[in-house]
Amino acid sequence: MAMTEPLVITDKNQMRQWSRSMRAQGKTIGLVPTMGYLHEGHLSLVREAHQRTHVIVVSIYVNPGQFAPTEDLSTYPSDFSGDIKKLNSVPGGVHVVFHPHNLYDYGAGKEERIEKEKEKKGDGDVSCLDNSGLGHETWIKVHNLEKGMCGKSRPIFFRGVATVVAKLFNIVEPDIAFFGKKDYQQWRIIQRMVRDLDFGIEVVGSEIVRDADGLALSSRNVYLSPELRTQALSINQSLYQAKRLAENGEANSIKLRDSVVHSIEEAGGKIDYVEVVDQENLEAVEETIVRPVVFCIAAWFGKVRLIDNMEMISV
């Protein structure tokens, strides 16, 4: 059956009313949270949501709370009309695009900067804030899981992610939320938050989607020059090399990690981190691998920071 254009909702109260009307009809709700500039990875989540829920909400919201002042909020790519076209290309489409202007009142100063950036991009409207003038001051931190990896180099990142995802969950009230495993630490943090705070939501992690050359899909890939993109292929290549070594009996995490670091640096990348961590608690495995782990990487190619990972079973 052909899908009509999705309903675009910018107001939190209207979004909640829509979800509750669907639930009153006995329909299950799937949520795919995104920051827009959609690619095939996002669309794969929509297709998975079609398999598991009756109606689908895609949120498009560039979350200022996860960007430090030195990071790329102002330059994060945006193409709302293009996003709608891509969502319509998926068989069955989506039912709602939730596109709020801002979900958190950061107070004077930062709030003014955010307003200017949002106005330039034409993102949503202002109705998701209560305009009380009191500002917001509640943050959610998943303390242990956010300490390592991206949490080291981006110390406010996961606080911003967890808080806004919790707000999205409270507004949309989904039954199932779909996240990509490329952001492995983020996925595990959201799972833990949902467990700890008793959200009645299943958090699904979907496999990484890659281009034909192996590069994990990312909205930031658009900033890679052809030369930098060729260099960035070393991430996926080094992960597969480490996986082959592990499958052939190499169980020393330090040796495996060093092989990955060498491959990326030799290709011209600058390492942020390469970690071998437990798949569940994300604790670093410093010596012999005896349980399922995930190799997680963040590396710079020029001014573009890319992340990737690969799950591996114990040897």
Question: pLDDT tens digits for 141-174?
Answer: 999 999 999 999 999 999 999 999 999 999 999 9
For β-strands 293-301 and 304-312, DSSP reports them as antiparallel
- Active-site amino acid positions: 42
Q: What is the mean pLDDT of residues 117-128?
A: 59
Per-residue model confidence (pLDDT) at position 74? 80
Fold for the domain defined by 219-312: Pantoate--beta-alanine Ligase; Chain: A,domain 2 (3.30.1300)
pLDDT in tens, 78-87: 999 999 999 9
Q: Enumerate the domain spans of the chain.
A: 7-206, 219-312
Per-residue model confidence (pLDDT) at position 114? 62
Residues 155 and 146: their CA atoms lie apart, in Å, by 8
pLDDT in tens, 165-213: 999 999 999 999 999 999 999 999 999 999 999 999 999 999 999 999 9
Would you say 298 and 153 are in contact if contact means Cβ atoms under 8 Å apart? yes
Alpha helix stretches (DSSP H) within 122-275? 150-153, 157-172, 184-196, 226-247, 253-267
Q: Which CATH superfamily is domain 7-206 in?
A: HUPs (3.40.50.620)
Q: Which two tokens stand for residue 298?
A: 């963040």
Residues 130 and 134: their CA atoms lie apart, in Å, by 9
